[in-house]
Structure 1
Amino acid sequence: MLDHQTLLYLGLDVVIAIALLALMRWAYELWSSIDSDDQLAGKDNFAYGISIAGSLLALSIVLWSAAERASGDDYLSRAMQMLVYGLVGFVLIKVGRWAHDRLILNRFNKRDEILKKNISVALVDAASSLATALIIRSVLLWSEGFNINSGIAIITGFVIALAVMLVTTRLMERRFARDNQNDSMQDTLVLGQLALAVQHGGYLIGTAFAATAASHMLTYQGQAYITNLLVWLGVGVLFTLLTVMLSRLTKAFILRGIDCAKEVDHQHNVGVASIDASLTIGMALILSGLIA
């Protein structure tokens, strides 16, 4: 049976989690200067809801990891770790969204597109938040201790997440331009191409899972900052490329006879895009499991 102290710890953690999730919604509204109640209930802006949902789920993934990661002799120290890791994850998710908008999908204004109810942009935005959270989760569970070294490890994971998303997006843009007479993938997302958004979102999440492979290959060394960063980055990019290649190979067999580029890019076939996304995520999970 659960003792009194354990029940108190669990209750405190639940309160912390709910408070941080509420803070995430409030911060989203403050950051974007948007009345969320009006967007969600007044204007029925599905894109806005999808974007917030991505942030909330991303923070929940970080809190899930923090709850698993927290250790200590008493419930107060463990709850404090939960709070600190949750706040760090909260900040990194917000900063990650900002960096993604400025560095990766930098050809349009995400806020304006979401206010225009652009579901395609919202889906990619949500996927980028989830990808960031998945890599932060793997670094949280890989690192040891509750100190400055583990904090630097988490920031390292954040940098890796951005690098992986940048590589994935640029590869997708290159493929899209090649198959569409040098058209811009980002401009097409602005036009509301839902199939392309589903495909790209799957690639972001899949390669995030692939990047976590480093946690199975690298022994944690608290003060080996440069080594940790370079190995995680190298393995992350390597497995990102491997995941993309294997998913394309798998797609060639499973969707044999179907021109995926034509179906997704020109005919906006969300079904084919969903299969493509699932194969990318699936191959990343299989690769990660093989080296675990």
Structure 2
Amino acid sequence: MNTLIENIGLNADLLIYLAIDITVAIILLGFMKFISGISAQVKANDELAKEDNFAFGISVAGSVAALGIVMTGAITGENANSYLMEIIGMFSYGLFGLILIKVGRIVHDRLALNEIDKTEQIKAKNVTVGIVDAASTIATAIVIRAVLIWVHGIDIGTFVAIIAGFVVSQAMLILVTRIKEKQYARNNQGDSLQEAFANGQVALAIRYAGQVISTALAVTAASYFMVYSPDTIVTTLFAWLIFSIVMTLLVALLTTIAKKLILWGINLVEEVDQQHNIGVASVEMAISISIALILTALMA
């Protein structure tokens, strides 16, 4: 017990930083739920509890989880110069991350899934679209977190780098969505993936979640190789984009091989695309994310 007390005494600053970070995080996470209701033009509590809108709940859960992921990149702990700088840093990066998450959702709505109205679909309690929305939001947050950890300091240069990293993430998510749309159409006599989402095919949404999250993890791998410097930020971020494309292709290739081996004897197109097998889709999602995690860990 004495040892524990001594350790706590020696780490009093750490406890104060912890209290600051947790307090700011709770405030911003609560604000995220409020903002989610405004953007969907509904009252969040009513939609969650009175209307029992599971799709909205899943979408909000994705947004809250995404902000939590971003906040982990904003935490500096004892590396901060003062308690005030920790508060400023957490609020600044947290609010900026919240804004980027919401902008990312708009970009995904307008450019990636441009054939359906996600907001209306979620209000109509389409769980499939809720899952797709949550997955894309979390994927965006994973990249933002990587950029937050990559940069250092709080100045114009760091925010420019964060925005540029955000642009890279959105470009990759749009690219992956287009590729998966073409793949789905080829395997299903020209049918539309977005229309399948609108029709409530949950298995496809689960598979898609694995694909976009694994893509985001592949994009973050570049942060282990690129050295942050405000003077070469344009060149570095262009290299990040090229590296992200290579890593995304590598993850896709390894995931395809892994699926064929792990799910040997199972016709994935028939089970997921046509029979809407949620179990098989869940395994696909797990394989996609696992391969991306393993590969990025090796890169680190």
Calculate the TM-score normalised by the size of structure 2.
0.94
Q: CA deviation at 1:145?
A: 2.1
In the alignment, which residue of structure 2 is the partner of 1:176? 184
Distance 1:178 1:69 in 2: 50
1:69·1:141 contact (CA, 8 Å) conserved in 2? no
Matched, 1:124 2:135: no
Distance 1:249 1:69 in 2: 41
Distance 1:213 1:237 in 2: 11
- 2:233 counterpart letter in structure 1: Y
Question: What is the count of residue pairs matched by the alignment?
Answer: 292
Between 269-278 and 53-62, report the one with greater CA deviation: 269-278
For residues 46-85 of structure 1, what are the alpha-carbon distances to aligned partners after superposition, in whole Å with 9 as ceiling and x for unaligned?
Answer: 0000000000000001111111478332111122111111
Distance 1:163 1:4 in 2: 44
Give the % identical residues: 44
Q: CA deviation at 1:246?
A: 1.1
Distance 1:7 1:74 in 2: 13
Distance 2:290 2:80 in 1: 36
In the alignment, which residue of structure 1 is the partner of 2:39? 31
Matched, 1:242 2:250: yes
Between 280-289 and 84-93, report the one with greater CA deviation: 280-289
Distance 2:81 2:252 in 1: 44
Distance 1:27 1:71 in 2: 31
Distance 2:191 2:257 in 1: 24
1:6·1:75 contact (CA, 8 Å) conserved in 2? no
- Which of 101, 107, 113 aligns to 2:121? It is 113
1:128–1:19 distance in 2 versus 1, CA, 3 Å = same
2:20·2:86 contact (CA, 8 Å) conserved in 1? no
- 1:221 counterpart letter in structure 2: S
- 2:180 counterpart letter in structure 1: M
1:85–1:115 distance in 2 versus 1, CA, 3 Å = same
Q: CA deviation at 1:257?
A: 1.2
Q: CA deviation at 1:13?
A: 2.2
The unaligned stretches of length 5 or more in structure 2 are 1-7
The equivalences for 1:23-62 within 5 A come to: 23-62=31-70
- 1:166 counterpart letter in structure 2: I
Q: CA deviation at 1:123?
A: 0.3
- 1:153 counterpart letter in structure 2: A
**Alignment root-mean-square deviation, CA:** 1.4
In the alignment, which residue of structure 2 is the partner of 1:167? 175
For residues 223-263 of structure 1, what are the alpha-carbon distances to aligned partners after superposition, in whole Å with 9 as ceiling and x for unaligned?
Answer: 21221221111111211111111111111111111110111
- 2:240 counterpart letter in structure 1: W
- Which of 8, 15, 18 aligns to 2:23? It is 15
In the alignment, which residue of structure 1 is the partner of 2:226? 218
Calculate the TM-score normalised by the size of structure 1.
0.96
Distance 1:64 1:184 in 2: 37
1:248–1:70 distance in 2 versus 1, CA, 3 Å = farther
